[in-house]
A and B are shown apart, each in its own frame.
Chain A
Amino acid sequence: MKNSAFLSGFALNKKTLRHFNWFDIINYIFLAVLAFITLYPFWFVLIGSFSQGEDYSGGGVWVWPRIWSSASYIVVLKDSRFWIALRNTVVRTILATVLSVGFTSMVAYAMSRPNLKHKPFFQWVNLFTMFFSGGLVPYYLVIVAIGLYDTFWVYILPSIYSVYNMIVLSSFFRSIPESIRESAVLDGAGDFRIWLQMYMPLSKPALATIALWVAVGHWNSYMATMLYTRDANLTTLQYFLMRLIKEANVSYEGITWEIRNDVTPQTISYAAIVVATIPILMVYPFLQRFFTKGIMIGSLKG
């Protein structure tokens, strides 16, 4: 139904288009310039990362590397801290996404049920947290008090539930015909089983959307590492990157005598940026498809 609305929009545009006028030309060029402005910075970093450090610091590398070198990548990939950060980020992203989608969808299912007693109470308890929060310091004190400080679980547990995602999911659950549930009830299934074995498989697109949403958030976040951990073994990719970029005088294990002129802190940080961006680039086609759908679910039904 949503697709047909989209398509009729396009069909209409084609029908109403009488001729390609000056506005179209300016519009097409403007959007192309915008796309260029968006993409060029990434290109700039990419060529910088493949440049020879000493030569690069002279300036003027804007289109293509003058002297090629992959030394910066060697330095990054040889750094044990990078691999620890990558491992933590991958584990954290997967674990947090699975648990968060599971937990949030369970609550969302309950919130979408008409047979939930004291519903206004539940709604208010949830909504209130969207508008008012305790703030950074009290939150930190709670994290320390419940023993999450400096443990790996600090990445997972505090983000296992999100009110916003719950609202999106429960509006999706509401759109599933009640008759499906009734037949299961007749067969003697409880609500927990109905959620797990019927609603979860039925709402794969919505769950995938939320999952990608959560996953990108975890991949890109560094705040938890910075505030709630001290152990170097708990570092994450974005935090490692930030340290690399902000503190130019970090020492690297991988800089050997032969390549010391081929790298600068700048080119090393560029290489790290590229390496950290590749995973996002790989999932981007899926992201785009699901995200667009997810926003539609949220905005049309919410």
Chain B
Amino acid sequence: MTDFVEKTTRKRKKWTRNDKQVYFMAMCGVAFLCVFAYLPMVGTLLAFKEGDRAIDIYQVLLTGKWCGFDNFANLLTDRKLTDIVINTLGLNLLLLVFNFPAPIIFALLINEVTHLRYKKGIQTVSMFPHFISWTIFGAIIVALTDMTTGIFNPILEAIGLCSQENPINLGEAQYFWVEMIIASIVKGVGWGSIVYMAAIAGISPELYEAAQIDGANRFQRAVKITIPMIAPTITVFLLLQISKLLGNSYEQFYSMQNAINLERSEVLATYIYRKGFTQRRYSYAAALGLCESIISVLLLLFSNILSKKFTGRGVF
């Protein structure tokens, strides 16, 4: 017993100058997170108070009356919210189905290109849109789909889907999802493929040589060797993607929204902004945000458990 006490006290005394410096440096990070990450988490208490349209919101936050789950009950009766959840889930599921495999397929295809210059050229071009902001990307989509000056209406006319007298307005809400998905693929495919390219580059060439001796053709080698070898990378990215089913990039959607397509382009991220900032329903928006965060965490944990069960791998 005394021996143990002695040991622990000695351990405590062993803080060298360098230990203190390192501790201080790490503490700077914690201090930052306390202000910009943990303080907002305390602020979510607003979701349990009546702070909608409050004049002094801090007063409400500190001394306001608790109202339990009233704000959350209001969420359930919000008719608009149903549409928004459908938009969010629908779009994200479609993005998962189309945009998630796209970089993998792209990486596999580009891996089959043997001409080095061609390969580099394609990669250079495909990665470029990633560095362009959604503001610009959204504007470009509006430009391309414009009824008179755009590029799509003449194409549709040429293949007989519409005519000069009866043009299709691609800015309408019903086309928004398709446009968003195509735009996301174009913007993300090259950039997304880098991780898979790195994973493919790490595969031992001996595997391919052995398969070739056994008579496997290129397609078989891709399916039987490349894909299983990059499966861990795919799993990790798939899990992270699933946890984002409720979250969208705010900037991506806001920059493409307008009054015409709002019906199909309003997602949770932008709705929270509209409620919290335009309508000043602080508590309502905080409740909505809290729900989103919690469901996202649950989705991540759930998909992680599933993945561990079926593939033996998880993010954590």
Is B125 part of the binding interface, using a Cβ–Cβ cutoff of 8 Å? yes
**Do A6 and B201 touch (CB < 8 A)?**
yes
Of A12, A24, A42, A115, the residue contacting B205 (CB under 8 A) is: A12
Known: A134-B44, A136-B272. A161 touches B112 (CB 8 A): no
Interface string of A104-130 (1 = CB under 8 A from B): 001101110101111000100110010
Is A227 part of the binding interface, using a Cβ–Cβ cutoff of 8 Å? yes
**Do A161 and B33 touch (CB < 8 A)?**
yes
Instruction: Note all chain B residues with C-beta closer than 8 A to A136.
Output: 272-273, 276, 285, 289
Bound form: Cα–Cα A299–B194 in Å: 10
Majority SS at the chain A contact face? helix
Bound form: Cα–Cα A185–B19 in Å: 12
Size of the chain B interface, CB-CB below 8 angstroms = 105
Bound form: Cα–Cα A164–B32 in Å: 14
Instruction: Report the stretch among B80-88, B134-142, B172-180 that lies at the interface.
Output: B134-142
**Do A161 and B32 touch (CB < 8 A)?**
yes
- What distance in Å separates the Cβ of B185 from its nearest Cβ neighbour in chain A? 9
Bound form: Cα–Cα A5–B204 in Å: 8
Interface string of A262-302 (1 = CB under 8 A from B): 00001001100100110010001001100110011001100
**Do B198 and A300 touch (CB < 8 A)?**
yes
**Do A138 and B194 touch (CB < 8 A)?**
no
Is A238 part of the binding interface, using a Cβ–Cβ cutoff of 8 Å? yes
- What distance in Å separates the Cβ of B197 from its nearest Cβ neighbour in chain A? 8
Bound form: Cα–Cα A51–B155 in Å: 21
Instruction: Report the stretch among A56-64, A72-80, A203-211 that lies at the interface.
Output: A56-64
Instruction: Note all chain B residues with C-beta closer than 8 A to A202.
Output: none
**Do A48 and B199 touch (CB < 8 A)?**
no
Known: A23-B218, A129-B37. A10 touches B132 (CB 8 A): no
Of A32, A59, A291, A299, the residue contacting B233 (CB under 8 A) is: A299
Bound form: Cα–Cα A131–B240 in Å: 10
Instruction: Note all chain B residues with C-beta closer than 8 A to A24.
Output: 112, 114
- What distance in Å separates the Cβ of B301 from its nearest Cβ neighbour in chain A? 9
Instruction: Note all chain B residues with C-beta closer than 8 A to A60.
Output: 149, 154
Is B17 part of the binding interface, using a Cβ–Cβ cutoff of 8 Å? yes
Instruction: Report the stretch among B2-10, B23-31, B93-101, B306-314 that lies at the interface.
Output: B23-31
Known: A27-B109, A35-B126, A122-B26. A115 touches B18 (CB 8 A): yes
Is B292 part of the binding interface, using a Cβ–Cβ cutoff of 8 Å? yes
Instruction: Note all chain A residues with C-beta closer than 8 A to B139.
Output: 45, 241, 245, 269, 273
Is B231 part of the binding interface, using a Cβ–Cβ cutoff of 8 Å? no
**Do A62 and B151 touch (CB < 8 A)?**
yes
**Do A135 and B290 touch (CB < 8 A)?**
yes
Bound form: Cα–Cα A138–B58 in Å: 10
Which chain A residue shows the least CB distance to B251? A223
**For window 220-248 of chain A, which residues contact chain B by CB distance below 8 Å?**
220-223, 227, 238, 241-242, 245-246
Of A5, A56, A116, A227, the residue contacting B26 (CB under 8 A) is: A116
Size of the chain A interface, CB-CB below 8 angstroms = 103
Instruction: Note all chain B residues with C-beta closer than 8 A to A252.
Output: none
Is A13 part of the binding interface, using a Cβ–Cβ cutoff of 8 Å? yes
Is B129 part of the binding interface, using a Cβ–Cβ cutoff of 8 Å? yes
Which chain A residue shows the least CB distance to B281? A137
**Do B122 and A31 touch (CB < 8 A)?**
yes
**Do A129 and B131 touch (CB < 8 A)?**
no
Instruction: Report the stretch among A90-98, A188-196, A253-261 that lies at the interface.
Output: A188-196
Bound form: Cα–Cα A137–B47 in Å: 10
Is A201 part of the binding interface, using a Cβ–Cβ cutoff of 8 Å? no
**For window 145-197 of chain A, which residues contact chain B by CB distance below 8 Å?**
145-146, 158, 160-161, 163, 166, 185, 190-192, 195
**Do B143 and A122 touch (CB < 8 A)?**
no
Interface string of B175-194 (1 = CB under 8 A from A): 00000000000100110001
Instruction: Note all chain B residues with C-beta closer than 8 A to A135.
Output: 40, 43-44, 272, 285-286, 289-290, 292-293
- What distance in Å separates the Cβ of A64 from its nearest Cβ neighbour in chain B? 14
Which chain A residue shows the least CB distance to B25? A110
Which chain A residue shows the least CB distance to B250? A223
Is B229 part of the binding interface, using a Cβ–Cβ cutoff of 8 Å? no
Instruction: Note all chain A residues with C-beta closer than 8 A to B25.
Output: 106-107, 109-110, 191-192, 195
- What distance in Å separates the Cβ of B186 from its nearest Cβ neighbour in chain A? 6
Is A216 part of the binding interface, using a Cβ–Cβ cutoff of 8 Å? yes
Known: A27-B109, A277-B136. A44 touches B143 (CB 8 A): yes
What are 8 A-to-B residue pairs whose CB atoms are below 8 Å? A11-B205, A39-B128, A59-B150, A122-B30, A134-B38, A160-B32, A242-B255, A273-B136
Across chains A and B, which 5 residue pairs bring their CB atoms closest together, nearest first? A134-B40, A135-B289, A138-B43, A220-B133, A107-B29
